[in-house]
Amino acid sequence: MRRWWALVLLVALASAAFWLTQSFLSGPRYALYQIGKAIHDREPRLFLAYVDVDSVLRGQKDLFVDMIAPQGQDEQRRSIVRGLATAFMGAAVDQARYEVAKAIKDPERQNLPSSWTLVFAANVTTNRNYALVVLSEPEKGRRLRLGMQQKGDGPWRVVSIDSRDLKALAKEFLHDRFGIKLQEQSGQQETPATPQQNNPPTEQTQTQPAQQ
């Protein structure tokens, strides 16, 4: 009898381990692990396999326009800047890939995070083939929201970064690294991005029950 219960327990544990492994390998947390591994092992090709630089940069186009021609100013100027941003987006994406690869391969880069750092720091909410990932560092008040997407049977990839979080982190980096302090435009208010169809869910727009 004892042997029978031991066998049942062993099968249950093996099944649970198999299910958890499959869930991890097929979910967005595995992509986060691969991104962390790419950073730690200095493997830019692995990093770019799980981060869609093209989609991320195109999602930041409005932020770039607001930096050059803030809201409330000449709409014609904003339209010109937006057109230029669109025209040069392809070259900007290529340059971004080059700079990302260069930064990841940098042999002088110190304090490399563990491959599991992003996995443990992430709060992941999935909704079908979209996921909202919140990376937070509460003790320093930092937060970065990422949108991830899985297309077909392909891997989960980062396809968007919340521009408000990116702007705040960029300000902190410039101030800490170079002593540059950016000032907010007077009268300019940050407003949440308008939800668009087929975009990854955000904290404001996600209304369907989460599937974990």
pLDDT tens figures, 55-77: 998 887 777 777 677 777 777 77
Per the prediction, the chain carries an average pLDDT of 77
- Count the Cβ atoms, other than its own, within 10 Å of residue 147: 21
Concatenated DSSP letters of 142-194: EEEEEEEEE-TTS-EEEEEE-HHHHHHHHHHHHHHHH-----PPTT----PPP
Torsion sign, CA atoms 202, 117, 28, 107 = positive
List the domain boundaries for the chain: 2-107+121-178
- pTM score over 0.85: no
User: In degrees, to the nearest 5, what angle opens at C-alpha 47 toward C-alphas 212 and 114?
Assistant: 75
pLDDT digits (tens, 9 = 90+) for 140-190: 778 899 999 999 989 999 999 998 888 887 777 666 666 666 555 444 444
